[in-house]
């Protein structure tokens, strides 16, 4: 085992000391990630805001407050409309993502919150822009919840709401008198607690939550990248993988032309051990490049990994796939010139059509089909699946398996093409 590890360490050291190779494995990918991330519109706060029409039919304070909150939200570009038909047309024409209609009884429902009247708003969305609608839906829930918390902290409003509830309980026909008395006592107790300074919206109110509101925005499925950086960092990774493949793919040829291959062949190690050492180095470099770029994207550009376990799977599969491609290239490039140049050009083209230049999800269908011959394209799919497509294990299986197969086939072809002894 020692010789294999020694070979891998030597090759990694070589990569780090070769400024050109190190730049193409890490520096250039980072530049790609930053540049394209910026071009694609950076993070969500800088992205085009969601155009939303609001039709407020409610005359009361709750409706106005919600409109106000939506207007202040950075991710929503709000325009008010009095005419529901006009607003619906705006959505149909693509001028707005959604129409939000606040019903006439919204304020009344808010005041009657303890009585069990549901507060509801209506939303009409553009079916082709469901992902943005999902985003908006979450946003509205969040705003409404915040509004409610503010209300709970307001003793005057609480008094009205509780009075309403008491009234409703007293006049309700479907509850028995003891129940009505019990409820009345309970509402009095709440009122006294609030008068004494108890704030149900504060953290210590955990045990006493008068109503549960589930915020669905957190669980809204994501079908698109949250920011340009989630696209561009994947592109960066593609270029980084390409850098690793070319660096290690040509290292066999350069060992030959520099004469050091002679010492590897005269050492008491097998050819398989030499290849294992090279492969291990390439595998480690591929993993490192992916880890560094993802970590950097997370730390500095707000990238979040939706499926960490799937990300690990994607990175491992890419490591195997591109180590195989490296060996394929090594087999092709017996000399540093000639075949070596051809190998590099081939890998470059594969990276370009595989998502390095144009992100896969904006590719025209025909180009996307063509890009599937490139292992880089499958790596892009795996990484997208882990970062923002929310792939489950079965969904990850196919692209990862294809990536690994590329690796195995490339490895086999490369190894059989490598010339060893004279």
Partner 1 sequence: MLTLRNLRKKFGDLIAVDGLSLRIEPGEVFGLLGPNGAGKSTTIGMSVGMIRPDAGDVTLEGFGDPMNPPVRRAIGVAPQSLAIYEDLTARENMVFFGRLQSMRGRTLRRRVDLTLEMVGLSSRQFDRVATFSGGMKRRLNLAAAMIHEPPLLLLDEPTAGVDPQSRNSILELVRSLAAQGVTILYTTHYMEEAAKLCSRVAVVDHGRLLAIGTVPDLVRTHGGTTVITVDRGDRSERIETSDPVRDVATIMADPTRGISGLRIDRPDLESVFLNLTGRSLRD
The span from the CA of 284 to the CA of 232, in Å, is: 22
Supply the Cα-derived Rg of the chain in whole angstroms.
Answer: 30
Opening angle at CA 204, ends 198 and 205, nearest 5: 65
Report the residue number, 17 or 365, with the smaller CB distance to partner 1.
17
201 within 8 A of 113, measured Cβ to Cβ: no
From residue 311 to residue 350, the character string flagging contacts with partner 1 as x (rule: CB under 8 A) and all else as - is: ----------------------------------------
Contact status: 14 vs partner 1 (CB under 8 A): yes
Using the contact rule CB under 8 A, the part of the chain among 13-21, 119-127, 304-312, 334-342 near partner 1 is 13-21
Q: How far apart are CA 55 and CA 84, in angstroms?
A: 6
d(CA 86, CA 96): 11
Span interacting with partner 1, options 12-20, 242-250, 291-299, 395-403, rule CB under 8 A? 12-20
Output the smallest distance, CB 21 to partner 1, in A.
Answer: 10
What is the token pair recorded at 205?
């109110």
Measured N-to-C along each axis, helices 393-417 and 308-332 cross at an angle, to the nearest 10 degrees, of 20
Q: Residue 275 CB, nearest distance to partner 1 (Å)?
A: 14
Find residue 102's DSSP bridge partners: 56
Cα 258 → chain centroid: 45
Closest CA to 66 of 148, 159, 154: 148
Residue 163 makes contact with partner 1 by CB under 8 A? no
Least gap, CB of 260 to partner 1 (angstroms): 5
CB of 5 to partner 1, least distance (A): 8
Tokens, residue 414: 């490369």
**Do 253 and 336 contact (CB within 8 A), yes or no?**
yes
Question: Could you say which of 5, 181, 213, 215 contacts partner 1 (CB under 8 A)?
Answer: 5
Give the residue with the Cβ less far from partner 1, 268 or 364: 268
**Residue 55, H or E segment:** strand 50-56
Using CB under 8 A as the binding criterion, the count of chain residues that bind partner 1 stands at 26
191 vs 265, which CB is nearer to partner 1?
265
Nearer to partner 1, 2 or 214 (CB): 2
| Residue 340, burial from CB neighbour count under 10 angstroms (0-12, 13-18, 19+) | buried
Q: Smallest distance from the beta carbon of 420 to partner 1, in angstroms? A: 9
Q: Could you say whether residue 421 binds partner 1 (CB under 8 A)?
A: yes
User: Tokens 């006439």 — which residue?
Assistant: 104
Pick the stretch among 14-22, 79-87, 239-247, 295-303 that binds partner 1 (CB under 8 A): 14-22
Whose Cβ is closer to partner 1: residue 5's or residue 48's? Answer: 5
Of the candidate residues 17, 173, 212, 365, the single one contacting partner 1 (CB under 8 A): 17
Binding of residue 422 to partner 1 (CB under 8 A): yes
Lay out the site mask for partner 1 across 84-123 (x = CB under 8 A, - = otherwise): ----------------------------------------
Under 8 Å between Cβ of 330 and 246: no
Query: Is position 416 an interface residue for partner 1 (rule: CB under 8 A)?
Result: no
Question: Distance from first CA to last CA of the chain, Å, rounded?
Answer: 27
Site string for partner 1, 248-277 (x = CB under 8 A): ----------xxxxxxxxxxxxx-------
Encoding tokens for residue 285?
């470099």
Torsion sign, CA atoms 216, 222, 223, 228 = positive
CB of 3 to partner 1, least distance (A): 5
DSSP notation for 310-361? HHHHHHHHHHHHHHHHHHHHHHH-SSTTTHHHHHHHHHHHHHIIIIISS-GG
Stretch that binds partner 1, among 6-14, 83-91, 170-178, 334-342 (CB under 8 A): 6-14
Question: Minimum Å distance from CB 288 to partner 1?
Answer: 19
Footprint of partner 1 (CB under 8 A): 2-3, 5-7, 9-10, 13-14, 17-18, 258-270, 421-422
């Amino acid at each position: 085992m020692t010789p294999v590890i020694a070979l891998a360490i030597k090759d990694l050291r070589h990569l780090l000391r070769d400024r050109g190779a190190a730049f193409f494995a890490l520096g250039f990918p980072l530049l790609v990630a930053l540049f394209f991330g910026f071009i694609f519109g950076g993070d969500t706060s800088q992205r085009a805001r969601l155009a939303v029409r609001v039709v407020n039919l409610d005359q009361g304070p709750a409706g106005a407050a919600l409109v106000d909150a939506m207007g202040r939200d950075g991710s929503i570009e709000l325009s008010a409309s009095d005419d529901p038909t006009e607003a619906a047309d705006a959505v149909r024409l693509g001028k707005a993502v959604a129409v939000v209609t606040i019903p006439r009884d919204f304020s009344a429902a808010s005041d009657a919150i303890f009585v069990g009247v549901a507060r509801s708003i209506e939303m009409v969305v553009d079916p082709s822009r469901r992902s943005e609608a999902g985003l908006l839906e979450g946003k509205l829930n969040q705003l409404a919840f915040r509004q409610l918390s503010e209300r709970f902290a307001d003793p005057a409003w609480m008094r009205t709401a509780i009075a309403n509830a008491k009234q409703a309980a007293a006049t309700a026909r479907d509850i028995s008198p003891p129940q009505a008395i019990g409820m009345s006592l309970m509402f009095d107790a709440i009122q006294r607690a609030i008068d004494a300074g108890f704030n149900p919206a504060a953290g210590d109110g955990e045990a006493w939550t008068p109503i549960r509101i589930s915020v669905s925005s957190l669980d809204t499925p994501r079908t698109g990248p949250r920011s340009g950086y989630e696209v561009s960092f994947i592109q960066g990774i593609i270029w980084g993988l390409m850098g690793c493949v070319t660096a290690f793919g040509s290292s066999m040829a350069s060992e030959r032309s520099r004469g050091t291959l002679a010492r590897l062949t005269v050492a008491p190690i097998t050819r398989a051990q030499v290849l294992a050492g090279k492969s291990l180095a390439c595998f480690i470099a591929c993993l490192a490049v992916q880890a560094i770029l993802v970590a950097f994207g997370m730390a500095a550009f707000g990238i979040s990994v939706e499926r960490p376990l799937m990300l690990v799977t994607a990175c491992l599969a890419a490591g195997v796939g591109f180590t195989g491609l490296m060996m394929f290239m090594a087999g092709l490039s017996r000399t540093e010139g000639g075949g070596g140049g051809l190998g590099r050009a081939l890998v470059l083209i594969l990276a370009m059509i595989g998502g390095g230049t144009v992100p896969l999800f904006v590719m025209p269908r025909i180009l996307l089909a063509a890009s599937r011959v490139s292992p880089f394209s499958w790596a892009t799919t795996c990484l997208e699946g882990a970062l923002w497509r929310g792939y489950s294990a079965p969904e990850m299986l196919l692209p990862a398996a294809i990536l690994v197969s590329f690796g195995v086939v490339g490895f086999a072809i490369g190894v059989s093409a490598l010339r060893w002894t004279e």
